[in-house]
Amino acid sequence: MKLVLDVTADTMPTDKINKGLDRAARIINLAGLGGLKPGDVRLTVVLHGEATGCVLTDAAWQARWQTSHNPHLPLIRALQNVGVEVIVCGQALAYKKIPRSEVAENIPVAAAAFIVVANRHAGGCVSMQVL
């Protein structure tokens, strides 16, 4: 199964997990219940729009919202550990005035979300939007 999640769901409130990241975890869990191994599922999560802030370092998150840490990073790391590709849109970072230095380690920055989605489509991925 090859799937790309196009995620623009808001990161607010700051104490809730982004529903696109939650959906990615559910897909992996359901695939496992169906007998698939993590390597059988090729999942890419592309964050942009209001979901862009999910990739902030803890320090950047704390500076922006005065909370102790970015609640999305543990789930992003868990997804990455089972082979999920998590990418953030460079255009969205620029629009939101988020410098690359505030993007957490090991999260690739794409030139644009739509290019990633188009490339994954060309490679046979099915896409879902999480608004």
* Burial class for 111, CB neighbours closer than 10 Å (0-12, 13-18, 19+): exposed
In this prediction, residue 14 carries a pLDDT of 73
User: Which helix (H) or strand (E) segment is 19 a member of?
Assistant: helix 19-33
In this prediction, residue 66 carries a pLDDT of 87
Supply the pTM of this predicted model.
0.95
Q: Which residue has the higher pLDDT, 45 or 131?
A: 45
Could you say which architecture CATH assigns to the domain 2-130? Answer: 3-Layer(aba) Sandwich (3.40)
Distances (CA, A) of 47 to 33, 63, 66, 73, 85: 26, 21, 22, 13, 11
In this prediction, residue 67 carries a pLDDT of 86
- Above 90 in pLDDT, residue 38? no
- Tokens describing residue 41: 């599922």
Q: What's the rounded mean pLDDT across residues 60-70?
A: 91
- Tokens describing residue 94: 């620029």
Is the separation of the CB atoms in 73 and 34 below 8 Å?
Answer: no
Spans of all domains in the chain = 2-130
In this prediction, residue 15 carries a pLDDT of 76
The whole-angstrom separation of Cα 88 and Cα 92 is: 8
Tens digits of residue pLDDT in 89-99:
999 999 999 99
Coil, helix or strand at residue 126: strand
DSSP states of 22-45: HHHHHHHHHHHHTT--GGG-EEEE
**23 pLDDT band (50/70/90 cuts)?**
very high
Tens digits of residue pLDDT in 92-124:
999 999 999 999 999 999 999 999 999 999 999
In this prediction, residue 68 carries a pLDDT of 85
In this prediction, residue 100 carries a pLDDT of 97
